[in-house]
Structure 1
Amino acid sequence: MLQTSTNFKQFPIFQKLTEDDLLRLQEISIERIYTEGTTLFRQAEPRKTIYFILSGFIKVYKVDAEGQELVTNILHANEMFPHFGFFEQSPYTETAVTLTDVHLLAVPIKEFELLLLEKPGMAIQTMQIMEEKFLEIQEQLQFMQTQDVFHRVVLMLVRFATELGERKDERQIFFILPITNLEFANMIGVSRETVNRVFNHLKKIEIMSYNRKQILIKDFPSLQSYLGD
């Protein structure tokens, strides 16, 4: 599959670039396709590359002192990662592994940093995206610290439906979630049994249905209503 400069236009930070800028970006990028289960980088390895996802899903996680895996994010098409650490010599703070076959663009971080220095507009867009991601993480952490387990599960369902979902009508949203209930639970600090109970409750009251990795939110407004304002 041949890389074209139009691949980059789906990413917000590149949408205002000229065709010449896009061609320059194309010159320093490498198009890659990885199969499911491929580790892109590991926690504590030297930070070398910025990735831009064209299709597929990637799991990002940390390993704590006891060797337990903590899933911190599920990344998908149109996202860049890692989101932090530009102009630093720090290593990767997490591990990234593909959950499905993944098509992405890889840019050496040194080359990307030079491009940001040359293109102030792109640098500003990148900083805005980093700030938005930071605020999103902070808000999510605050919510998780103050809410019970039911509302934590609902928050993640709403987030995944919003980011990954295909609307069927004004109430229904369908999406594929390529993680296990245990990984879902790890993301929000609850047990797998808790996730199962909440899923079964929402299924019983006909707000959602699910089959393996396929989830149909039957009544998205009702699901959102649990989160209040």
Structure 2
Amino acid sequence: MQELSKNEDTKHIPFIFLSAKTERKDVRKGMNLGADDYITKPFNEDELVSAIESRLAKAALIKDDLTKTKQSKPLPNDTLHTLNDLKNFFDDVGETFLFSKGDVIYRESENSNYIYLIREGVVKNYKIDEDGKELITALYKEDDLFGYTSFTHNLPYQESATAMEDTELVGISKHELKDILDNNHRLALELIELLTDNLSSIKSQLLQMAYSSVNKKTAATILRFAEKINNKPEDPIKISRNDLASVAGVAPETFIRTLSKFKKEGLIDVQGRNIVVLNINKLQHIL
């Protein structure tokens, strides 16, 4: 029975025990082995026929349900040609994950088992240096993919990921995505282009942190959040000062002082913990 249950072609075949062992422990043992029914001797012929008919009918229903499920499930090799197709596939068959603000999604050096699509929320990728300082390397919002390391090698995550607000994700296994990409070269090229854009963004951020003035770093960070995270640039930026300073690559105290300066100049408004861009053109001019 155990061998039959491992085979997709035989796992749903009904199995009825016909035994002279009538003690409850024997019946329980038979059912625990995976039997669909347990009939003891002596038995009535009608009882046996009825049990067989009942189990065959149930097996037919299960088979019918499985057939419908397979027909309704997207076929990756035939239907996924673009990045949007892939995102729809995530939505249709991916596993759902819910995270509250501040929850760690994965940590650096953990096994990279899943690739994620954000249904709702904001996620940050970051690394921690030897002094315990956090460096945010990427920001992701609704409809963004993240969590990819290597599609061909079992590499761990190279950075950590945390939800910056309540977040809903859908994920598929890295191995499943690899199978999809192996059979969809156009999709693979689109994903390569996405990875290239991400690398370019990280390169620009590193250059900014290394060579830009504090004013430029602060302005660039505000614009980055306003354009990347918000639906509209003028929407409030609801991100902690520490996270903003981490992206800018400056100390939180320095970042806060620069915010005060920008507020006095009429570039932004500070409403409690939120930042509102008042003059996006002047901020861009600082760059």
* Band the TM-score falls in, shorter-chain normalisation: 0.7 to 0.9
Measure the CA separation in 1 of the matches of 2:90 and 2:149.
23
Q: CA deviation at 1:24?
A: 8.5
2:257 corresponds, among 161, 178, 197, to: 197
| Partner SS, residue 65 of structure 1 | coil
Q: Does 1:26 find its partner at 2:26?
A: no
Q: CA deviation at 1:79?
A: 1.1
Measure the CA separation in 2 of the matches of 1:30 and 1:224.
40
Write the letter of the residue equivalent to 1:220.
I
| Partner SS, residue 131 of structure 1 | helix
Relative to its length, the structure with more helix (as a share) is 2
Measure the CA separation in 1 of the matches of 2:91 and 2:243.
35
Q: Does 1:148 find its partner at 2:213?
A: yes
Q: How many residues align?
A: 209
Q: Does 1:72 find its partner at 2:162?
A: no
CA distance change for structure 1 residues 118 and 199 in 2, over 3 Å: closer, same or farther? same
Write the letter of the residue equivalent to 1:51.
Y
Measure the CA separation in 2 of the matches of 1:80 and 1:73.
12
Q: TM-score, normalised by structure 2?
A: 0.66
Q: TM-score, normalised by structure 1?
A: 0.82
Q: CA deviation at 1:36?
A: 2.1
1:51 corresponds, among 116, 123, 126, to: 116
Identity, % of aligned pairs? 22
Q: Which runs of 4 or more aligned residues in structure 1 lie more than 6 Å from their structure 2 counterparts after TM superposition? A: none
CA distance change for structure 1 residues 50 and 190 in 2, over 3 Å: closer, same or farther? same
Q: Is the 8 A contact 1:174 1:216 kept in 2?
A: yes
CA distance change for structure 1 residues 101 and 90 in 2, over 3 Å: closer, same or farther? same
For 1:109, the equivalent position in structure 2 comes to 174
Structure 2 residue ranges without an equivalent (≥5): 1-72, 75-80
Relative to its length, the structure with more strand (as a share) is 1
Measure the CA separation in 1 of the matches of 2:165 and 2:147.
18
Structure label with greater radius of gyration: 2
Structure 1 vs Structure 2 CA RMSD: 2.5
Write the letter of the residue equivalent to 2:258.
V
Relative contact order, higher structure (CA 8 A, sep 6+): 1
Q: Does 1:216 find its partner at 2:276?
A: yes
| Partner SS, residue 210 of structure 2 | helix
